[in-house]
Structure 1
């Protein structure tokens, strides 16, 4: 690690000078952390970034964050390719159903906006609520694709729909923090490092990188704190820290200052400014920033009612508004004044502001390309010739003719991402993600730790099965071998299946609804694939549910007197286990397809529907319209299976008490009882095949449903 000191020249002016967001010095590419050594106490928080640039009477002073001078830590990531984003005539349309018109209607949210965000810039998309700023951010990040039209290019090349290369170079941080509350900061960072960086880098490098990022974000003192115990500002910084591990070239943030106090807001935006200075493209939406926070941004993109009303540097906003007859009052926050204009508090022709914004976009674009091609003596053609058929017209200077002092100009055309040339945005990801198997192991360990620490649900499920087992056992004590209590045993078997079906289904029906937001964000940011995540969930839930069911069976089966041979107990246990896992598979499917409120309602309804078939209901008595449910009912298969293991398979005659009238027991022979309940002739292995098929089918459908939700843009 290199060590260097900051050399700031103090101002001689007696007034306060805000030297906002100066560029950080360059460092070697292999350097991770450079420490600034001064004779002052060094803080572990880069919230002082702007405070270090404020000078009064030749001395640096703090800005409401610290009470004395401190130094900060300069952090430099390995270099990543720079990413410039440009979009033209972007429109977003949604379909809504009108009950009044009784048809679908189209509503346009964005009305052909254009703009460009360059690397090294901290860009703010600002506007009032409902203006379309979050929609625009989602489109640029690739989070929304359906209903989008227009052209989006990255480094001059077309960005394809759902571009994997673009997502490799990007990170999207949502407004709401979806952290794993039961993991510590250290554990969450290590999991992210293993998933994002794979195992091609050493553990020491990962730990060093983690410590450096946490120091940069001021979270090193929270190293062993659970994420759920972090404050609002710390959670926001933690969300950023998790995505910085992959060193993205561009970062999108949806209202990162929401819910934070002024100090935390300044801290958060200072961090983003530092990241942008290292060459990243940082784009974030912001509602109404303070004057200090507003000045930290390099570029502003203002939207109102789906239209762009300004785009350009922050320092040019006030002159731009002045050109349109809108004088910002003295000591008035320009951001507040712009919001007031956007909501229509001033009588202003918004079409002129939109035209002015388009003009600034064209000027900025031409200036940028002129600077880009000047190294090769290229100059852009007139704006009218720029984007014909996806190509940019440029000229190359020839030699100067001294006689007439004219310049011989030759015209060239260079590709700017034409669809015809097949060029698309590509960027090599220097980090290889963990393999599918390693993703599974990492996610399984994470899920196991979180579940153990949130042990109340686990203990509740386990204790419930253990406690109900002796209750059922003593309630139906010794009914298994008594011919006079056959229907009592029948009810015990039905109640047992009902219990394990409900506990198997309802214990997991909320798994995916509660996890969906976190899953969607982590999957979109390419932490892992869906398959290892899904298996990390079910391979924890399935064994635990099997364990709970096994405890219940062992605790109740023998007390009821059903035990005769070992193979009968083994088959009885197998049928119970298959029934509860079938119900659990249905629970996963219901949870993945429905919202929380609907899932907790539909789950019991389906359990009741399936439980009707097979219990005191003969197949011949079922209406033909519903006979198909009899065939696919896992409840019926499990119930008939346990009946067959208890009373079928050539079981010997049941015991008939001597005091019975006439010494007669109608159900002395088990086959008589099976015929009475209309399940004689059924073969147990068919029920096993049915429940196994239900388990496999429902898990496949759940995976397909989750895949569709995660890839629906």
Structure 2
């Protein structure tokens, strides 16, 4: 296996009460460095130390005293800004806090992030109209993390996808948060001049090493003394990317060796300078910091209640999904009714009757495919929130399943009523009741199967490719295409895990018992299983598919990166107990403007 060093012996300091920008060319290691420090690395091997107030801390401790805002905002589109932040408060704040105290905290966060105007607006999605703007969306994501009152705030590319003004607005907000005593660290890619001057400190990475760390305002003079002067009226960030980290003339001349040699010289100059020692000596050691104690968070029942309420709101606020499922039930039911209506009870009608019953058993496949595509989208939000430690897998999974039940009961019932009486199946209320029970269990087993398949793969495209080979064998060996007693031994096991097999067999027993023994024999449904035994098998598969789906979700989120042993090159990080700022937003902006 080929290994690659991304970060190479870096030593840095992030001061409390300051906003530090991590900048560098693409591939320099900015995000890797931020993830490594914040404990969000998803792979690789890290050696080093993370020191907070001079003491080494592990990943768990770092996550308790910090918050992390990812580059891509994965938020539930149907929620309002206030509801999203309130949900974060309900899931993450100590269970001893009253509802009023949590609501006051939410109100305070909304105010300091200037989200009052859009607090009751639905978040929406980047591709849909009617939601909040990109800048508001980013500040909402920050607010969900800020609700825990963290001492350290990490952000990965917080200005991605924003226009110049929105980018400045977000960074200006971060500047105010840092001024209140927090340690704020953000990776950023080529900010505007106004945005750049809002940063207190700057850390420049090149080839996985630090090329500069110090005051952002002193960066131009530092590189100017090394022969790389910034032209007048040029954005310092543009100068850094165009003339320091890269060089247009060298690129045009194809002088890659010269550019590499210059980069090496700048890295060696920084590492050999007295700036590193003075930086470490200037570290401010804080006496205490805020700890987000996970043991004080609400219990699993409170988490389930909060997430169930969110799931039901999501169902109610997405009427198009309900309409689509209703249309699917009506259309498919009507098609079956029109094709197979008014079936007789002669020998010639047996094929049509069994075909109609199998078509009805196939509803499991329809539900599985519709569920896996829908859940694959929601799973992205789940993975993000779970990675941030907002709730456990069980707290999410059980409310999710129960919130899907109304749709999975109402619409299949409508479909069954259309088909059963149109086909003139047995005109008996008890038989119809058993038919409906089988149909509901089969449909909900498909729901669990869809969640299970969607949870196995992280990419929706792979999920859609892998789903047919996983589902089609369940259909083939259900008893319609081949007699279940004639299945080859090496495939025989598949029929025992096929909900369609038990549903189709139960339908056949309900329809052909007493009068159609020969038909049951042809279908292989004349075995030892009775109707109620098929129903019990469907219940077992309904529970089984959901249990497998649960463990697949757990497996998906359990692949966490374990850091390696400590080495001699520490990554130093300091944080301070946050202090309330006496400055309002206007004075903060004024100070930011003065520093320009």
TM-score tier (shorter): 0.7 to 0.9
Q: How far apart are the structure 1 equivalents of 2:475 and 2:169?
A: 58
1:458 aligns with 2:361: no
| Structure having the larger proportion of residues in strand | 1
Q: Please list, as runs of the form range in 1=range in 2, the aligned pairs for 1:176-215 lying within 5 A after superposition.
A: 176-197=72-93, 199-215=95-111
- 1:699 is matched with 546
**C-alpha spacing 1:431/1:197, structure 2 compared with 1 (3 Å):** farther
Q: What's the CA shift string for 1:448-497, capped at 9, x where partnerless? A: 11222211121111232134434433533343755552222111101111
**C-alpha spacing 1:114/1:688, structure 2 compared with 1 (3 Å):** farther
1:114–1:361 Cα contact (<8 Å) kept = no
Q: Please list, as runs of the form range in 1=range in 2, the aligned pairs for 1:96-495 lying within 5 A after superposition.
A: 104-155=1-52, 156-160=54-58, 162-163=59-60, 165-197=61-93, 199-228=95-124, 229-340=131-242, 341-345=244-248, 347=259, 349-358=262-271, 359=273, 362-364=276-278, 366-368=280-282, 372=285, 427=291, 429=293, 432-479=296-343, 481-482=345-346, 484-495=348-359
1:473–1:556 Cα contact (<8 Å) kept = yes
1:523–1:529 Cα contact (<8 Å) kept = yes
2:37–2:50 Cα contact (<8 Å) kept = no
Query: 1:275 Cα deviation (Å)?
Result: 0.8
Select the residue among 505, 523, 526 that pairs with 1:680.
526
**1:332 counterpart SS class:** coil
**C-alpha spacing 1:679/1:427, structure 2 compared with 1 (3 Å):** same
Select the residue among 408, 416, 420 that pairs with 1:545.
408
2:376–2:454 Cα contact (<8 Å) kept = yes
State which structure, 1 or 2, has the greater radius of gyration over its C-alpha atoms: 1
Query: 1:339 Cα deviation (Å)?
Result: 1.6
Give the alignment's Cα RMSD to 1 decimal.
2.6
Query: 1:615 Cα deviation (Å)?
Result: 0.8
Q: How far apart are the structure 2 equivalents of 1:467 and 1:193?
A: 43
Q: What's the CA shift string for 1:296-325, capped at 9, x where partnerless? A: 212111111222211122233233323433
- Greater mean deviation of Cα atoms: 191-200 or 467-476: 467-476
Q: Please list, as runs of the form range in 1=range in 2, the aligned pairs for 1:5-44 lying within 5 A after superposition.
A: none
Query: 1:505 Cα deviation (Å)?
Result: 0.6
Q: How far apart are the structure 1 equivalents of 2:490 and 2:274?
A: 67
Q: How far apart are the structure 2 equivalents of 1:360 and 1:443?
A: 53
1:170–1:525 Cα contact (<8 Å) kept = no
Query: 1:536 Cα deviation (Å)?
Result: 1.8
Query: 1:211 Cα deviation (Å)?
Result: 2.5
Aligned residues: 537
**1:116 counterpart SS class:** coil
Query: 1:570 Cα deviation (Å)?
Result: 2.6
Q: What's the CA shift string for 1:425-450, capped at 9, x where partnerless? A: 99353993222112111111112112
Query: 1:109 Cα deviation (Å)?
Result: 2.2
Q: What's the CA shift string for 1:633-662, capped at 9, x where partnerless? A: 2221221121112223xx3xxxxxxxxxxx
**1:526 counterpart SS class:** coil
Query: 1:697 Cα deviation (Å)?
Result: 3.0
1:273–1:297 Cα contact (<8 Å) kept = yes
1:168–1:429 Cα contact (<8 Å) kept = yes
**1:221 counterpart SS class:** coil
Q: How far apart are the structure 2 equivalents of 1:535 and 1:361?
A: 55
Select the residue among 483, 508, 519 that pairs with 2:371.
508
2:484–2:523 Cα contact (<8 Å) kept = no
Q: How far apart are the structure 2 equivalents of 1:585 and 1:173?
A: 32
Q: How far apart are the structure 1 equivalents of 2:453 and 2:83?
A: 31
- 2:582 is matched with none
**2:106 counterpart SS class:** helix
- Greater mean deviation of Cα atoms: 214-223 or 275-284: 214-223
1:328–1:334 Cα contact (<8 Å) kept = yes
TM-score by length of 2: 0.84
**C-alpha spacing 1:561/1:216, structure 2 compared with 1 (3 Å):** same
Q: What's the CA shift string for 1:349-372, capped at 9, x where partnerless? A: 323322343345641454136x65
Q: How far apart are the structure 2 equivalents of 1:483 and 1:112?
A: 82
Q: What's the CA shift string for 1:535-577, capped at 9, x where partnerless? A: 1211111332122212211222123222354443232222222
TM-score by length of 1: 0.71
1:644 aligns with 2:509: yes
**C-alpha spacing 1:199/1:480, structure 2 compared with 1 (3 Å):** farther
Where in structure 2 are there 5+ consecutive unaligned residues?
125-130, 251-258, 561-596
**C-alpha spacing 1:576/1:520, structure 2 compared with 1 (3 Å):** same
* Structure with more relative contact order (C-alpha pairs < 8 Å, separation 6 or more): 2
**C-alpha spacing 1:677/1:113, structure 2 compared with 1 (3 Å):** same
2:151–2:290 Cα contact (<8 Å) kept = no
1:554 aligns with 2:467: no
